[in-house]
């Protein structure tokens, strides 16, 4: 089972992603704090990280950059899921190491398609 971690300061987003991806066979966990999520992401490396940009303390961009600097998480796909819709935000997301970008509000079909695409050729991290 592929493990997906959602980091978004709005708990409803993590719950929505869990409701959408859970029936597809994904194990979805969530955190509302990027700084608190970092040690857990390094300890138990997920198959995919879904990040918001605007969060108190540490932004999603900062968390992404930190994950890219760690050998254990360098190759983990990171999908930005954010209300920010400007082209410059998409560019920044890719510059810090993001794998893909989806703006809120999002469609269930679009989220599922992006998750499937990002995980298509990635072996599960389960048991590692």
Confidence tier at 25 by pLDDT (50, 70, 90): very high
pLDDT tens sequence across 80-102? 999 999 999 999 999 999 999 99
pLDDT band for 10, please (50, 70, 90 cuts): very high
pTM, entire model: 0.93
> What pLDDT score does 126 carry?
52
Identify the CA nearest to 55 among candidates 2, 14, 24, 87.
Answer: 14
Q: What is the CATH number of domain 3-119?
A: 3.40.50.2300
Residue 128 has pLDDT above 90, yes or no: no
Find the helix packing angle between 60-69 and 34-43, rounded to 10°. 20
Average model confidence (pLDDT) for the chain? 94
């Amino acid at each position: 089972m592929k493990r997906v971690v959602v980091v978004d300061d709005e708990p409803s987003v993590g719950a929505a992603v869990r409701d959408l991806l859970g029936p597809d066979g994904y194990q979805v966990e969530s955190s509302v704090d990027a700084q608190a999520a970092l040690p857990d992401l390094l300890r138990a490396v997920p198959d995919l990280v879904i990040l918001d940009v605007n969060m108190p303390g540490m932004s999603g961009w900062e968390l992404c950059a930190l994950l890219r600097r760690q050998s254990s998480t360098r190759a983990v796909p990171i999908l930005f899921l954010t209300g920010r819709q400007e082209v410059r935000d998409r560019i920044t997301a890719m510059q810090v190491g993001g794998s893909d970008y989806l703006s809120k509000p999002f469609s269930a079909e679009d989220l599922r398609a992006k998750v499937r695409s990002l995980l298509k050729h990635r072996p599960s991290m389960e048991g590692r």
